[in-house]
Structure formats: structure tokens, C-alpha cells
Structure 1
Amino acid sequence: MASPTTKSFDLAVLRRVLAFARPYKRRLWSSIALAIVLALFTPVRPWLIQLTIQKYIANEMAEMVIRVTIYQIAFLLLETALRFVFSYLTSWLGQAVVKDLRTTTYKKVLGLNLRQFDRTPIGTLTTRTVDDIERINDIFSDGLIPILADLLSIICVLVYMFATHWQLTLVCLIPFPVLIVATYYFKESVNKSFHRVRNAVSDLNAFVQEHLTGMYIVQAFAAEDREMDRFRTINKEHRDANIKAIFAYSVFFPVVEIVLATSTGLIVWFVTHPNVSSGVITSFILCLNLLFRPLRVIADKFNVLQMGLISGERVFKVLDNDDYTRDTGTHDPARVDGRIDFEGVSFGYTPEHPVLKNVSFSVPPGKTVAIVGHTGSGKTTIISLLNRLYEVGEGTIRMDGVPVGEWKLDALRRHVGVVLQDVFLFSGSVRDNLTLRNPAIPQERVEAAAKLIGMHDFIGRLPGGYDYNVMERGATLSLGQRQLLSFIRALLYDPAVLVLDEATSSIDTESEALIEGAIQTLIAGRTSVIIAHRLSTIQRADLILVLDKGELKEMGTHRELLQKSGFYHRLYEMQFEKKIISAPER
């Protein structure tokens, strides 16, 4: 049995869904008005047939039968037209709400703190943004308003039956308690199954999305059979949840047919009553069908409504997530010098595992700072905090003396350009990936930046040149080529602060030599933060920060740190020794 809390929560979800229908309230009220009109139309046909049999067949046979038949045909055409309009209105309303809700949800997803993407599988967010919202459409097209129309139709038919012959009506309704009990248990069973179905769909989407993205790893390590076994397990859960719902349907519909047959039999049994005419008997048989037709589907529609509400609950969990980057700052200067100050910054992706511990340093405008350290020491975290991909736990980060939280978010990120080790390219043309579809960047600037990096000739040799489709994640390009494209992208946005996060780690020696001059041109007069494992790439940095387990161990120039014979010196010697060992014998 559903608890009062669950029911009140369903009503809360329904109210929030209906709030998205507010801009379309004229169509909403029109569909409700049509539902009422169609409900009032429901008992008219049985009444006309009763009238035909009871009065006119007995008296003015031919003429009146023709007249009433014409009335019935005209009424049927009118009812059909109204039902078409009703169906179109409810479906249109559902699609309009889905469009607005999907836009609102995707906008919220775009602003979520990155830790949400660290914790939530991409397939789950995809399901909630696309599939779950599509199910909310059913609340309007097959759920709430159609249920209201069916309930009103049932009420109108019952009123007509009681007004015509209340004793026969009571006899017909004797089996109805059985139907009410069956409907309740059917609703509860299917509701639980639909919860399982939605969770299984989410798991399936998450699994398939993750493994299609990582198919190279699956095949490279011959893990196809193991991953197929995992897929079978998830898919079996989806099947079992659906079968349980199918079983409930298989039991419920025969019960409805048995109750209908019993009610019809009771009418036949009651025919011997002297006060019941043949017209009343005929109209009551028609009324039973008009009663049972909505009753057959009302439980199904209620579960469609429940499924929409379940999906709505999942979507509103995304909308109610308050772990997002709040854009409350107002600082948006026309000119940025690029001074960076970290003051006692501590941060952890989870409270119990700090990544940075009381880190403080300053970078003057136009200078280059390099950050080195073992994997997991917190190097990338520093740049993620600088452009507010994550919020600072303790301490303050300033740019040009202003805390980053006081900057307008787009202004801050516009002035901090990032070149990552793992370059992400979207499916689309080379030009779209370089400009990120920014119409303010002309083709001339794109080509000039490509020439500076030394990629213009390479792009020109691609089929279609700058219109070449790089496919999803840049699958048709090598890792080094993708990183070179990311350099062009950074150049085009001309940031005041440039961050290179292991930007040359996957580039061969020839490519590295190609872009070395471009890097020097790029960082000239610009504040730069370079993260690198290869210490040879950072020796000319104005300041080197040495991190270990989230703590700032040493700070100084390359020469100063070597003279200290400390942590940096040991890192340098380890890399130098590796080069000697790996050098070929002559």
C-alpha cells in the first residue's frame, strides 16, 4: 500500500510538472473543457438507442428510425471530431512541456559542479535529460487529463443509468467491488514494476554509453565476454521488471472481462422484471460497455501517470541539485593583467580526502609558473580551482587581486585558457572545434592561429580542410594532432592566463619541437601556468612549484631548486637517470 508520504510526494511532483504547463494554460483549460464535454456526450448514444427502441419502433416506425439514425450519425461525427481535437491538444501540451522541461534540465546540467559528473554516470544523466523527460509527456497525453475525461465519462454514464432505472443499476453494480479491489492491486503491482523498469533503463543506458566510449579498452584487453556477461545481468533485470508488469496486466484484464460478463448476465436475469422495457435493457448493455471501456484502461492510464511521475521525480532530483557553480559575481573588467594569488588554499573532492593542504603562492602578471610533482599531488586541482570548476574549500584564490568568487563566471573563464592533456573534440568540423561555434571568430583568425602552431598545411590536406569532420572525440585524428588543435583553440580565445596541463606529454619529439616556438610566442607577455612531468619543458619558467601529497614542498627557479638538493633535485635526477638508462648503446 502506498504511504501518505508517497502520495503527497506524487502530488508535489505533479504540481511541479503542471507548473511547466502554465505558459500554455489556454490549451490546458481547453483540453479540460473538452474532457467535460466529451464526458457529457458519453450517455447520449445509449439514450438515443433507448429512445429509438422504446418509442419510435413501437409507434412511428420508419420515419422516426431514419430521423434518429441521422441524429446518431451526426452526433457520432461531432464526437469523433471533438475527440480528435482533445487528443491533439493533450499531445501538443505534453510535447510543449517536455521541450521547456528538457531545456531547463539541460541548462541545469551545464551549470552543475564538476564533482557531480565525477559521481554520476553520464548514461544516468542522459536518461534523465532525454528518456525520463519524454515519459513526462505521457502525463498529459495519456495520463492526467485522459484519466479526468474517463472518470467524468463514468460519472455521467452512472448518473444516466440511475436516472433511467436505479434498481437495475444497483443490480449491474453488484460485481463492481471485485473490480475496485483488482484495480487497486493492479495499480500497486505495476507501480513497483515501473520503478524497477526505470532504474533498469538508467543502468542499461549508463552501461552501454560507458562501454561504447571505452570499446577500445574492452577489445584491446579481450574483455568482450566478461562485459557481455555483465550486460546480460543488467538486461535480465530489465526483462524481469517488465515481465512482472506484464503478469499484472495478464491477470487484471481477464478479471475486467469476468466482471463485465457477470454484470451483463445480471441484466439478462433482471429482464423478467415487469417494469423494464426492451429499450432500457439495450441501453444498459451499451452503458456497461461505456463503463467498462474506460475502466479497462483507467488503471493502465493511472500507471502511465505514475510512470510519468516517477520520471518527473528523477528529473526534479537533477533540478533540485544545489551543487552547482553559482554565478553571483559582478567583476568583469575590460583589461586583465593576469596576477594569480593562492592564499592558504585547502581542498578535497571528498571531505575525508584532502587533495591540497594550505597552499600559498603568487604569480606576477606576464610570468610563467610551472607545477611539478608525482601523480595525485594536486597539480591539476590547482587549475580546476583557478577557473572555478570546483569551489575552494578553505583559503582564497585571487586574480588581479579580486577573489575568483567575485568574478562573473564567464568573464573569469574567458580570461583563463586551458590546454589539457586529454583533449576533447566534439563531433563536427575542425573549424567548429577550434572556434567552439563562436561566430565572432572569423576564418582569417583561425588560419592565422593554425599557421602559428604549424597546423595550417596539415588541416589543408584533410578532406574538406577546415570543414573536415573529426568524428566523435576526434577519433580520426592522432592524440598529438588533437593536442595541436587544442593549442589553436587556446590561441583563438586569447586569454590573459594560459594553463598548459601536460599539454606536450603525448606529442612526439618532432611535434614538440614544432610547437616549442609557438608556445614561447603564446606565453610571451601572458601569465602562464604549466603542469608537466617532463622537467625539460619547464626549465625556463620564472617560478617552479613542487607539490607532494597536496603540500607545497619547494618553490623557486630551476637553478635555485637544483642548488637546494631537495625534492625537485631528486625528481630531476630520477628523470635524468631514466634517460641515460633508456639511451641506446653505441
Structure 2
Amino acid sequence: MARDMYTEVDERSKVRDWHVILRLWKYAKPYWYLLLIGVVMIIISTGFDLVLPYLQKVAIDNFMNVKHHYKIVEYNNGQPKFVEDPDGKFILKQLEDGTVIITDGEIKYHISSEELRELRARDLVGISKLALYMLLILLGMFFTSYLQVYVTSYMGQKVTHDIRKALFRHVMRLPMRFFDTNPSGRIATRIANDTKNIAEFFSSVITSIIKDVVLLVGIIIVMLKLSLYLGLISLAVLPLIAFAILIFRYFDRIAYRKVRTRLAAINAFLAEHISGMAVIQLFNQEKRKAKEFDEVNKKHYKSLREQLLIFSIFRPLMDVVYYLALTVLIWFGAKGIIQHTLEFGVLYAFVSYIDMFFRPLKDIAEKYDIVQNALASSEKIFKLMDTPEETYNDEREPVRKISGEIEFDNVSFAYDGENYVLKNISFRVSPKEKIAIVGETGAGKTSIISLLNGLYRIQNGDIRIDGTSIYDLNLQSLRRRIGVVLQDVFLFSGTILDNIRLFNEEIPRQKVIEAAKYVYAERFIERLSKGYDTEILERGGTLSAGERQLIALARAVLYNAEILVLDEATANIDAETEMLIQQAMEKISNEKTVLTIAHRISTIRNSDRILVIHKGKLVEVGSHDELIKLGGIYADLYRLQYELDDAG
């Protein structure tokens, strides 16, 4: 694919997992009490899990499969009366012809069902008690599991909320150069998708891992206590399990990093092309763009297939190891039962414990996928968080008010540090002066505005406001003193009212209306169905370019900036709206310093001075009449524009 800027470089650098986990813990630490409650519930629930197979063993060996000894105490009509006695010679056995009491010899006594219930009454009572205990344990497991899932899920959502908030706050403070080189879809993936993976890690995995570890340790202890012989045999498969997990861990981490990278590429592609859908349709580029998306999508599909291949090998391998361990256990256990060295209940409990032992190991593929997904997402999130923020000089006093004096002193600037778009630019603007900047496309006009707001740092020279370098001022407060109206005005989803006051509800509605009237924007606002409460779509797609310009102008007036900058503000609007903006500018220019960037010379003829930028240099300065008399680049631009107008 020719264009692959949507894809990040696959990160193969060794980032230690515990470093990532420690950074995540900083966000989980405020909610440690929730984690503690979850861990306590896990320990209790695990204890319940471990008790159940043991109770089954007790039921089998102590009440179901036990050999009771009896002796005859009396005869009733020739029928013996039996009582339990450890020294008794009679044993209760189930034969083909019915339940009987026999001795080691040939003597057999058949007993009735009533006599059987009487003889096994103690066993039935014991079984009933064990059944009640099991029911209580199951109820306890339900409530402890419910509470554990609830508190850990709540903690996971709180942690995710905090990370997402901190990440977005950090992104808003990143320098503009970062947004020039990173697609918006990729940034959205970091804030939305990757933080969601972290939520799943905290809500379902971290506690599951704790439970699995406690459960596995508990099972090993119980098995060794029940039978050291069978316990050691059962644990002989541990080296094979450990080897399989290590191999899976290595390859799954690589696969998941690739999956996350490819997903970010899809989001970046979609964000860009949905925003530019009008251009795609106007130039009939649907087929080519569909093909480009197919290539991006195929890369994501291939990375998912690689991850699925790793998963599909690990899970069946765990099944094979499980059945191998079960087979070996049954073989040695059956041998022990035949040789009367092992009770059947112990073997039954071991089978249950082995199944319980492999349950978390079988699920480890899924859990490890989530862990690797979360760690890979965390790496990308923390990489974004580690991107140096813009220097705002927050420690300095906020700029409360300025007179509007601007000075560029021998300024040189290159976006990439090498190819300079501005070269030794010097000029001074007096307070309340009306300045226009003209030049051909790419001359560097818009760069001047970006530098004035401190969006980029210059390589040489200095920019001063009221005699102070902007790099020595509190940058955020300085930007409040500079109002900018761009050619492509960005409006947010919401009402006209909210877009003018930028969702600052502390600004009264009446002030917004006054600002709109001041720039003649109320004329079109009042024609809308709900006036100032009319909802507009993202980027203001339902409004014309001129209407968006008027909203931006009202926004600048509302925030009472001492310097107003219009960047091609009248380039794509109709004559009527241009006239309204010109009238508004006449009023504004009496109170503020105004910088206008324009291609249409008719809109800047009344400027106090005009700066002509050519190939990054300031080549001409003067009023309209002075520059026409000079006969230089400005005069050529003026002549060419009017010739084009006449030809049109």
C-alpha cells in the first residue's frame, strides 16, 4: 500500500510487564479498599471450592463405601438382632441376591429394608448433614462471587474513568506538532478502546488471577495432605505446563501488540476518510478508497488470525496435558485401591481436584489474552502519556489584559526543523492597528498566526506581545487575549448558543446574544427554527461557510480578546455575508488590534498596513496605495486578481 501512515511502528522493544503494572497501580491505589474486599471474597470463595471435593470424599469413605462391623446381641424368632461393634465379625455387604450380613466364612444373614435403614441410620444422618453443608457452601459461593464481581467491576470502571480523564487532559496539552504527525483515529483508539481493555483487566482478570493462584496453591496442599503418593504423581505434569505457558506468553504478547497496532490503523483510516467523505464522493474515489481500506482491514485480519493460531494451539495442549494427568492418576489410584493402600473416596476427590486444578490453566489462554491485551494497550497509553506536554509557563502570572502590541523580531521557523517556511521575518504592529498579510499559497501567512499563538516554537528570533516574549508569558492566558477566526471554522455538536460561548455555562445568555448582534450574526440565527437553541451537527455541516464565520466572529467578540486574527475568513463566503463581516470588522478594529490574512485584496484595501510575504520572507510593507505605486509583488497580485475578475 502506498500510504501507510495510519499504521504505527510495531513496538518490539522490551518493556517490563511489572513496570506497566506498577504504573497502572498508581491509578488503582485510591480504590485499594475495593480490591481488598474482592481479595477477601476470593479467599473465602476459594475455601468453599476446596471444601466441596473433600466433603465428597468424606461422604464416600465415611458413609457410603465404609465397611461397618456388627455383632449379634439377641435372636427374635430365630432372626438375629445386630448392633454395630468394631470387634464384630459380621460385615454388611451388597450381593446379587440382595443386601445381607455375612461373616468371613459361609454364614449369611439376609436382612430386610427396614433393618438396613436401621443399621445405616448413622450413615444416612451423616449424608444428610453433608448435603446441607454443601448447600450452604454453594449459597456462600454465590454471595461471595457476586460481591467479588461487583466490587472489582466497579473498581475497574473507576480506574478506567480516571485513566481516560487523565489521558484526555494530557492530550489537550500536547504541542500542535504532535497532532500534525498523529492521525486523530489513532488518538481516539488510545483514549476509548485501549482504556476499555484496562477496565476488563481490573474487573475480571486481576482478581481471577489472584483466585487462580490461591486455588492452585490450596489444591496442591490439600492433595499432598490427602495422599502424598498421588499428590506427587499428579504434580509431575507441572514442568510441562510451565513450559507451555512460557512459550504461549512470548508469542501471544507479540501477536497482541500487532492486533492493537492494526486496530489503531483502521480507526485512523476511518476517522480521516469519514471526515473527507464529500471529497471522496465528488471525485468518484469510492472504489479506490474501498480498496485502500480493504488493505488496512486485511492487515488487521491477518494479525487476528496469527493470534488465533497461537490460542488454538495452547488450549488443546492444556486439554492433552489434563487428560494425561487424569489417566496417570486413575491408573496409579486404581492400583492403590486394588492393593488396599488407597480409599476410593480419596481417588474420587483427587479426580475432582485435578479437574479443578486444570480449570484455571485451561482458561489461562483467555485470561492471558486479556492480560496481554491490557498490557499492550497500557504500553501505548503510557507512551502517549510520556509524550512531552506543551510548555505553558503555568507558574507565571496569568495575562489579564494586553494593549495589543505585536512584534516579530528576526523570526525563522521550520515545521520539521530543516525546511524553513519563515525566514528572518521582522515587523511591529501597534495597538489597535489594522494589519493585513497577503502572499501566494504556501508563502507562510498562516504560520505567522500559529506562531503568534505559541502553537509552535520558533528556531530563531523572538515574538513579543507588549514588549514581552510570548515564551516568557503564561501561554494559556495569552491565548485568551487572542481571538482567531479561521477559514474552516470548527463547530461542535450542540446548540448555536453553546458554540458561541464554547459550552461555558457561566457566560449569560444575554451576553451571547449581544455578541451575536455586534457582528450581525443574529440576522441568520433568528431565521433558524429554534434560534440560539438550534442544534447543529458536528463541524456545523448544516450551516453555510459564512454563517459559521459569523459564529466564530461572535465567539471572538464574546471572549473580549484584545487581538483579533482573521485567517482567510472571507475566502469562501457570499457577498452579503462578506459585507456583514466587513461591517463588523470596522467596529471591532476601533477597539482591538486586527490581523487579517486574505487572498481577496478587496477585503484588505482599508487596512492601515499590508505585509507582503513571498517564499517565507517579508518583502513589502505599506498601505494599499503605497504598494500599488511601488509596483512590486503586491501590485502584481492586485493586477492579476482584477484581470481574473474581469475575465470571469
**TM band (smaller chain):** over 0.9
Counterpart amino acid of residue 132 in structure 1: D
Equivalent residue for 2:353?
287
Equivalent residue for 2:609?
543
User: CA 1:364 to 1:331, structure 2 compared with 1: closer, same or farther past 3 Å?
Assistant: farther
Contact kept, 8 Å, 2:399 with 2:478, in 1: the verdict is no
The question of 1:246 aligning with 2:318 is answered: no
Equivalent residue for 1:152?
214
Counterpart amino acid of residue 490 in structure 1: A
From 142, 162, 169, give the equivalent of 1:80.
142
| 1:509 shift after superposition | 1.8
Equivalent residue for 2:154?
92
Counterpart amino acid of residue 380 in structure 2: R
From 242, 261, 278, give the equivalent of 1:216.
278
From 32, 36, 41, give the equivalent of 1:25.
32
Equivalent residue for 2:127?
65
Equivalent residue for 2:539?
473
Equivalent residue for 1:36?
43
Map Cα deviations across residues 32-64 of structure 1 (whole Å, 9 max, x no partner).
Answer: 333334344432111111112112332531011
Counterpart amino acid of residue 217 in structure 1: V
The question of 1:232 aligning with 2:294 is answered: yes
Contact kept, 8 Å, 1:38 with 1:153, in 2: the verdict is no
Matches within 5 A, 1:1-16: 9-16=16-23
User: CA 1:50 to 1:222, structure 2 compared with 1: closer, same or farther past 3 Å?
Assistant: same
User: CA 1:6 to 1:85, structure 2 compared with 1: closer, same or farther past 3 Å?
Assistant: farther
Specify the SS of the correspondent of 1:438. Answer: coil
What is the rounded CA distance, in whole Å, between the counterparts of 2:149 and 2:37 in structure 1? 11
Map Cα deviations across residues 125-170 of structure 1 (whole Å, 9 max, x no partner).
Answer: 0000110111111221233332122022111101111111111122
More displaced, 375-384 or 32-41? 32-41
Matches within 5 A, 1:299-448: 299-328=365-394, 330-448=396-514
Counterpart amino acid of residue 441 in structure 2: T
Equivalent residue for 1:179?
241
Q: Percent identity?
A: 37
From 285, 292, 317, give the equivalent of 1:255.
317
Contact kept, 8 Å, 1:31 with 1:86, in 2: the verdict is yes
What is the rounded CA distance, in whole Å, between the counterparts of 2:440 and 2:467 in structure 1? 30
Contact kept, 8 Å, 2:392 with 2:476, in 1: the verdict is no
Contact kept, 8 Å, 2:252 with 2:372, in 1: the verdict is no
From 258, 270, 278, give the equivalent of 2:344.
278
What is the rounded CA distance, in whole Å, between the counterparts of 2:331 and 2:344 in structure 1? 13
Specify the SS of the correspondent of 2:420. Answer: strand
Map Cα deviations across residues 292-343 of structure 1 (whole Å, 9 max, x no partner).
Answer: 1111112321221111010001011111000524333524354321111111
More displaced, 373-382 or 163-172? 163-172
Specify the SS of the correspondent of 2:494. Answer: coil
Counterpart amino acid of residue 158 in structure 2: A
Contact kept, 8 Å, 2:399 with 2:474, in 1: the verdict is no
Specify the SS of the correspondent of 2:335. Answer: coil
Counterpart amino acid of residue 362 in structure 1: R
More displaced, 357-366 or 80-89? 80-89
The question of 1:580 aligning with 2:580 is answered: no
From 497, 500, 508, give the equivalent of 2:563.
497
Contact kept, 8 Å, 1:150 with 1:298, in 2: the verdict is no
Map Cα deviations across residues 365-419 of structure 1 (whole Å, 9 max, x no partner).
Answer: 1111111111111111111111112223222111111221232233211110111
Map Cα deviations across residues 230-270 of structure 1 (whole Å, 9 max, x no partner).
Answer: 11122222222222222333222222222222222222212
From 517, 534, 542, give the equivalent of 1:451.
517
| 1:6 shift after superposition | 6.2
Equivalent residue for 1:193?
255
In the alignment, structure 1 segments of 5+ residues that lack a partner are none
What is the rounded CA distance, in whole Å, between the counterparts of 2:467 and 2:397 in structure 1? 11
Contact kept, 8 Å, 2:432 with 2:593, in 1: the verdict is yes
From 142, 149, 161, give the equivalent of 2:204.
142
Equivalent residue for 2:629?
563
Map Cα deviations across residues 433-483 of structure 1 (whole Å, 9 max, x no partner).
Answer: 111112233222222332333332321121111111121111111112211
What is the rounded CA distance, in whole Å, between the counterparts of 1:568 and 1:576 in structure 2? 12
What is the rounded CA distance, in whole Å, between the counterparts of 1:89 and 1:497 in structure 2? 53
Specify the SS of the correspondent of 2:587. Answer: helix
What is the rounded CA distance, in whole Å, between the counterparts of 2:150 and 2:53 in structure 1? 27
Contact kept, 8 Å, 1:161 with 1:169, in 2: the verdict is yes
More displaced, 218-227 or 248-257? 248-257
Counterpart amino acid of residue 47 in structure 1: Y
What is the rounded CA distance, in whole Å, between the counterparts of 1:248 and 1:525 in structure 2? 69
Specify the SS of the correspondent of 1:477. Answer: coil
What is the rounded CA distance, in whole Å, between the counterparts of 2:345 and 2:32 in structure 1? 43
What is the rounded CA distance, in whole Å, between the counterparts of 1:264 and 1:579 in structure 2? 90
Q: Which has more helix, going by share of residues?
A: 1
In the alignment, structure 2 segments of 5+ residues that lack a partner are 1-11, 69-121
Counterpart amino acid of residue 21 in structure 1: A
What is the rounded CA distance, in whole Å, between the counterparts of 2:162 and 2:389 in structure 1? 22
What is the rounded CA distance, in whole Å, between the counterparts of 2:29 and 2:234 in structure 1? 42
User: CA 1:580 to 1:105, structure 2 compared with 1: closer, same or farther past 3 Å?
Assistant: same
What is the rounded CA distance, in whole Å, between the counterparts of 1:121 and 1:43 in structure 2? 52
State the structure with bigger RCO (CA 8 A, min sep 6), 1 or 2. 1
What is the rounded CA distance, in whole Å, between the counterparts of 2:127 and 2:477 in structure 1? 79
What is the rounded CA distance, in whole Å, between the counterparts of 1:329 and 1:305 in structure 2? 40
What is the rounded CA distance, in whole Å, between the counterparts of 2:635 and 2:316 in structure 1? 82
What is the rounded CA distance, in whole Å, between the counterparts of 1:104 and 1:418 in structure 2? 28
The question of 1:530 aligning with 2:596 is answered: yes
Contact kept, 8 Å, 1:186 with 1:252, in 2: the verdict is yes
What is the rounded CA distance, in whole Å, between the counterparts of 2:583 and 2:172 in structure 1? 36
What is the rounded CA distance, in whole Å, between the counterparts of 1:440 and 1:246 in structure 2? 53
From 207, 220, 226, give the equivalent of 2:269.
207
Residues paired across the two proteins, number:
578
Specify the SS of the correspondent of 1:42. Answer: helix
What is the rounded CA distance, in whole Å, between the counterparts of 2:19 and 2:315 in structure 1? 31
User: CA 1:7 to 1:494, structure 2 compared with 1: closer, same or farther past 3 Å?
Assistant: closer
